[in-house]
Chains A and B, each alone.
Chain A
Amino acid sequence: MRLNRRKIIDKIMLGIISILAIASAIPIFAILVNVYSEGAKYITLNFLIDLPPPPIGDGGGGIGPALVGSLILVLLALVIAGVIGFFTGLYLSEFSHTKLAQYAQMFLQIMVEFPTIIIGLFAYMVLVAPLKRFNAMAGAIALSIVIIPYIALNVREAYKSIPYTLKEAAFSLGVSAPVAYLRILLNAARHGVLTALLVGIARAAGETAPLLLTILGTTFTYFGGLDQPINAIPLLIYNFALSPYEKWHQVAWGAAAVLLTIILAIFVISRLIVREVKT
C-alpha cells in the first residue's frame, strides 16, 4: 500500500520534471520559428551584398555594409583575442600551480559574467573619446575583451585534457617547452582549441552592447578604414528595429535570420568537432 503510494508520487514528480525540461526548450524553438518566419523570406544573394534601402520608396536593399563590418570586426577580434586567449589558456593549464595562474583564472571567470555594455563603455572612454570619433578598431577591441575569457578558459580545458603521459612523451623528446606545447601537443589539443575559437567567433558575431558605444553604425558605407565608423549585423538589427520605417523593420528581420543562421552553423560545426574527438 505504502509502496504503491511512493511509486505514484515518484511517477508524478518525474512527469513534472519532464514537462519543465520540455518547457525550458520552448523559447529556443519559439525564437527560431519567429525569426525565420519573419525574416527568411528576405534573404537573397542581393540582400547579403546590397546597401540598405532608403527608408521610403522602392528597392529591396540589403545588409551588405553590416555583413562586411561584422566580418571585419569578428576577424580582428578573433586575431587579438585568439593570440591573447590562447597563450593565457596555455599558461592557465600548464602553470596552474602558480599564484598568477590562480588569480588570472579567477579574473577570467568573473570577466565571463561581466556586463558587456561596461566593456563597451570602457572602450568608449579609452578608444573613442580621446580620438573624438567612433571607430572600427574600438569595436574590435571591445569585442576581443568580451571573448578573451571564453577562448582562454576553453583553451585551458583543451590542454588540461591531454593525458599526462603524452605530455611526458613530448618532453622526453628533448625539445624546448614552446616546441613541445605548440608543435607536438597542440595537435593533441586541436579539437578543443578549434572549439574555443569557434565559441569566440559566435560570441563576437552576436554581441551588440560593446558596439553601441564604439562603432556608431554606418548605414550606407561598407568600410572606410579602421579609424572610421563601421556597422555590424546585431547593431543594424537594433537600429533598424527601433526606426519608424516598415521597410527597415523587414531588413532587421532578414538580418536577424542571417545572424541566427551564422550562429547555428558555428554551433553545428563545433558539435561535429567534439563528436570527432569521441570516436
Chain B
Amino acid sequence: MSSAVKVRNLNIWYGDKQVIKNVSIEVPRNVVYAIMGPSGCGKSTLLRAMNRLLDLNPHARVEGEIIIDDINIYDDKVDVAWVRRQFGMVFQLPNPFPHLSIYENVAMGPRLNGLVKDKSQLDELVKESLEKAYLWDEVKNDLKKPASMLSGGQQQRLCIARALALKPRIILMDEPTANLDPVASSKIEELLLQLKGEYTIIIVTHNPQQAARVSNYVAFLYMGELIEVGETSTVFIRPKNALTEKYVLGRIG
C-alpha cells in the first residue's frame, strides 16, 4: 500500500531565512503520525506546506515535492483548492467562525464544495461529523446557537467536526491541545485514537509525551532539519540520535 503523503527533499524559506532544510518523510495510511520538536523548529510550517495553506503567506517559498495519490501538489497544473480538500485541518487556537451557528460551522465546507445534494443529506453529514467529534450530545439542542458560546474544548471539537465534514482522508492537526486545559486535551487525544482507523492523522506537537501517547510514527524536527524518524516506540525507547534522546527526555524544548 502506498503512503498517504510523501514529502521529498522539501526546502522552505520565509524571505531569506530557511525554515525547512531538505526534509523527506513518508506518512503511511491510517496511522497517527506525529511531527514533534521545540518551538520554532518549522513543524507548523511543514504541516501547512502539505495542504498548501502556506500559499497564504506571500513571503514563503517552497522547493521540493509533496506527493499524494502520485500527484505532486506543488506541480503548476494542480488546483490548490483540490489539494486543500484532500485534508481536513485543525488549528492550534480553536477557530470556529464565531459569527456562524454551530450547524453552519460544520455545514459550510460541504455545502460550498458541493459534497451534498440536499438539506437532509447535509443535516445527516453535520450530525455524523459532530458525532465523530464527540460533540453531538452536547450541542444537538443548540445547533442554531453561535459557535462562540461553546467552551474552548468544545470549540476545538467543533473545528474537528468541521474538518471531518469535508470527508478528507488526511487530517492535519497543528498543536490541537496547546490552548486547552488538561481535561479538554485528554478528550481530544481520546478522539484522535478513535479516528485513526478511518483517517490518516498528522499531528504537530511540541510535547514529546503527547507524541508518545497518541502516535504510531514520529518525526523529530530541530531547527528545520529532520533529526530522526521512525515508529514511535522505537524512537522513544532507543533513539539513534543524541539530540532526539535529549528532547524526549525533556532536556531541550
What is the bound-complex CA distance between A29 and B93, given in angstroms?
47
**Which residue of B88, B91, B108 contacts A168 across the interface (Cβ within 8 Å)?**
B91
Contact B112 A172 (CB under 8 A): no
Given A169-B159, A173-B166, residue A97 in contact with residue B59 (CB < 8 A): yes
Given A168-B53, A169-B159, residue A188 in contact with residue B108 (CB < 8 A): no
Q: Is B169 an interface residue (CB 8 A)?
A: no
What is the bound-complex CA distance between A103 and B96, given in angstroms?
35
Contacts of A184 in B (CB 8 A): 97, 108, 112
Closest to B100 in A: A187
Q: Is B87 an interface residue (CB 8 A)?
A: yes
Contact A174 B53 (CB under 8 A): no
Contacts of B11 in A (CB 8 A): none
- B residues 149-172 near A (Cβ < 8 Å) are 159, 162-163, 166
Closest to B104 in A: A187
Contacts of A166 in B (CB 8 A): 95, 97
Render A79-105 as a binary contact track against B, CB cut-off 8 A, 1 for contact.
000000000000000010110000000
Render A177-198 as a binary contact track against B, CB cut-off 8 A, 1 for contact.
0010001100110100000000
Q: Is A44 an interface residue (CB 8 A)?
A: no
Given A165-B95, A179-B112, A184-B97, residue A171 in contact with residue B159 (CB < 8 A): no
What is the bound-complex CA distance between A184 and B82, given in angstroms?
18
Nearest chain A CB to B179 CB, angstrom units:
11
Given A174-B166, A187-B99, residue A165 in contact with residue B84 (CB < 8 A): no
Given A97-B59, A187-B100, residue A165 in contact with residue B93 (CB < 8 A): yes
Render B68-86 as a binary contact track against A, CB cut-off 8 A, 1 for contact.
0000000000000111111
Contacts of B84 in A (CB 8 A): 171-175
**Which residue of B58, B91, B97, B109 contacts A187 across the interface (Cβ within 8 Å)?**
B97
What is the bound-complex CA distance between A95 and B113, given in angstroms?
25
Contact B58 A175 (CB under 8 A): no
Given A97-B59, A174-B85, A175-B81, residue A169 in contact with residue B95 (CB < 8 A): yes
Number of interface residues of A (CB under 8 A): 22
Q: Is B244 an interface residue (CB 8 A)?
A: no
Contact B112 A183 (CB under 8 A): yes
Q: Is B1 an interface residue (CB 8 A)?
A: no
Contacts of A24 in B (CB 8 A): none
What is the bound-complex CA distance between A169 and B56, given in angstroms?
11
Closest to B59 in A: A97
Contact A168 B81 (CB under 8 A): no
Contacts of B163 in A (CB 8 A): 172
Q: Is B89 an interface residue (CB 8 A)?
A: yes
Contact B56 A167 (CB under 8 A): yes
Interface centre among B87, B96, B112, B162 (most CB of A within 10 A): B112
Nearest chain A CB to B58 CB, angstrom units:
4
Contact B56 A173 (CB under 8 A): no
Q: Is A4 an interface residue (CB 8 A)?
A: no
Closest to B96 in A: A169
Nearest chain A CB to B68 CB, angstrom units:
13
Q: Is B51 an interface residue (CB 8 A)?
A: yes
Q: Is A163 an interface residue (CB 8 A)?
A: yes
Render A46-61 as a binary contact track against B, CB cut-off 8 A, 1 for contact.
0000000000000000
Nearest chain B CB to A136 CB, angstrom units:
38
Contact A168 B112 (CB under 8 A): no
Contact B95 A173 (CB under 8 A): no
Contact A173 B87 (CB under 8 A): no
Nearest chain A CB to B110 CB, angstrom units:
9
Q: Is A18 an interface residue (CB 8 A)?
A: no
Given A97-B58, A187-B100, residue A173 in contact with residue B113 (CB < 8 A): yes
What is the bound-complex CA distance between A174 and B169, given in angstroms?
13
Nearest chain B CB to A166 CB, angstrom units:
6
Given contacts A97-B58, A165-B91, A184-B112, 15 further A-B contacts (CB under 8 A): A168-B91, A168-B95, A169-B162, A172-B53, A172-B87, A173-B85, A173-B109, A173-B113, A174-B82, A175-B81, A175-B84, A175-B112, A179-B112, A187-B97, A187-B99
Question: Please, could you name 8 A-B residue pairs with CB atoms under 8 Å apart, sorted by A?
Answer: A165-B92, A166-B95, A166-B97, A169-B91, A172-B89, A172-B163, A174-B84, A175-B81
Q: Which residues of B contact A (CB under 8 A)?
A: 51, 53, 56, 58-59, 81-89, 91-93, 95-100, 108-109, 112-113, 159, 162-163, 166
List the 5 closest pairs (A to B, CB-CB), nearest first.
Answer: A174-B85, A174-B84, A172-B89, A173-B109, A97-B58
